[in-house]
Amino acid sequence: MTSKRVQILLHGGVLAAGIIAPLIFPNYTLQIAVLWVMILFAMTWDVMGGQMGYNSLGNIFFFGAGMYTCVIVQIGLYYDVAKYTAASGMITVNFTPEQYFTGLALGMIAAALVCAVLAVILGWIVFGLRGPYFAIGTLGIALAAGELFSAWEYVGGGGGIALPVYPGEPDDRAYFFYLLCFTLAVVTFAVLRRIYASRFGLAINAIRDDEEKAEGMGIHTRRHKTVGWCISAFFLGISGAIFGNMIGFIEPLEVAFPTVTFGIFMVVMALLGGKGTMWGPVIGATLFHAFKEVTWIHLLGWQWVALGAFIIIVVVFFQQGIMGWIQDKRPHWFGIVVDEAGAAREIELEGAPRRTGAAE
């Protein structure tokens, strides 16, 4: 079987599974929708962390920023936001279906654009930081945003804000948001695949391998880093907008800026699958999400401990990830010719299977 056919089968299989899954398991529609959001998290993190070598711990910031942008647009189009939040869900505002869908669509567009702009502004601040300082700085930004929104009364502060109610049946609602999440994840995958195959992909890989040399070769590193972060932020912003509406209630610390849960999970998922690969984040997110759901059901009370231990094990003992491990064992599947004599040289040229980021 040629690799082309394998690819077509793989893509077709995932697409078919994605469309059929909620029809087979109608009770788990929202859980599967969350899985697609998780896959999106891992893929967008990998743009920076895997392909560019900038390990951000605060990408979740854009998720929350997108969520809040969307809700402000959705409500602000037809009502006074401050008045709406002051009532803290006591008044039920009925949006007509037309108002609801216009608001949601405009909100998603606004979320994407605002997040991309925020990425440019923040990039200007954080891209001077290197190595661990970059990770700590981005973590700090995400934590700070959560605290700031908790104190911002206009959007409901720590009490949160209830979103417009979906006009329709609950089952339709679940399937509608499922399709949004699924489509977004697929589009993200396609866009990233296209980008990684282009000159831009080569340039950000060069930045990961050696930033000084990349700059010496004439790559405008700062611009590439900023654009890379913008792409992450763009899709994360939309995902935040959808996720907020799917949950139906936004709260700054647990839902919008869950820095120490989703924010870290996205990193672990990408590492588990194998960072710097196309399918790694998808596989990693799926396995991680499955592990999480299973422990949540079976380890009452101990699930977080199990999850913490799992994170330690993945990070410390299995950092090359599943894709990296397969690449190590079966290099020819990836078109890497194993020539025993020149194996070391070949692997170096093809992009080392053990990518340890900034280790060298």
Partner 1 sequence: MVNNIALLTDVPILNVQLLLDGLLIGAIFALAAYGLALVWGVMNVKNLAQGDLVIMGGYIAWYLSELGVHPILGLPIAIVLMFAFGWVVYFLIIRYVIERDLFTSLLATFGLALVIQQLLNLAFGPEVQITESGFAIRSMFEGMVTMADIKFIALCLAAVLATIIVTFMKYSRMGQAIRATAQDPRAAKVMGIDTGRVYAFTFALNSAICGAAGVLISMIWIIQPFFGMSHSIRSFVIVTAAGLGNLPGVIIAGLGLGVAEQYAGFVLGAELQQFSVVALLVAVLVVRQIVQGRRRQAVQ
Note whether 308 binds partner 1 by CB under 8 A.
Answer: yes
Total residues at the site for partner 1 (CB under 8 A)?
A: 47
Residue 164 · residue 249 · CB < 8 Å: no
- The correct pick among 37, 42, 143, 242 for binding partner 1 (CB under 8 A) is 143
Residue type, 57: L
Note whether 118 binds partner 1 by CB under 8 A.
Answer: no
Shortest Å, Cβ 135 to partner 1: 6
Note whether 317 binds partner 1 by CB under 8 A.
Answer: yes
Rounded CA-CA distance 284/268 in Å is: 8
At residue 99, what are phi and psi to the nearest 5 degrees?
Answer: -60, -40
Residue type, 159: G
- CB nearer partner 1, residue 59 or residue 188: 59
Note whether 211 binds partner 1 by CB under 8 A.
Answer: yes
Residue 182 · residue 23 · CB < 8 Å: no
- CB nearer partner 1, residue 78 or residue 127: 127
- The correct pick among 87, 120, 290, 305 for binding partner 1 (CB under 8 A) is 305
Residue 272: closest CA among 294, 288, 248, 256: 288
Residue 185 · residue 36 · CB < 8 Å: yes
What are the start-end ranges of the E strands in 252-357?
Answer: none
- CB nearer partner 1, residue 20 or residue 120: 120
Q: Which helix (H) or strand (E) holds 84?
A: helix 81-86
Stretch of residues binding partner 1 (CB under 8 A), selected from 13-21, 126-134, 180-188, 324-332: 126-134
Residues 37-76 that bind partner 1 (CB under 8 A): 55, 57
* Helix, strand counts (H, E) of the chain: 15, 2
Shortest Å, Cβ 210 to partner 1: 9
Rounded CA-CA distance 74/77 in Å is: 6
Note whether 144 binds partner 1 by CB under 8 A.
Answer: yes
Q: Rule CB under 8 A: which residues touch partner 1?
A: 55, 57, 125, 128-133, 135-137, 140-141, 143-144, 147-148, 150-151, 157-158, 211-212, 260, 264, 267-268, 271, 301-302, 304-305, 307-312, 315-317, 319, 356-359
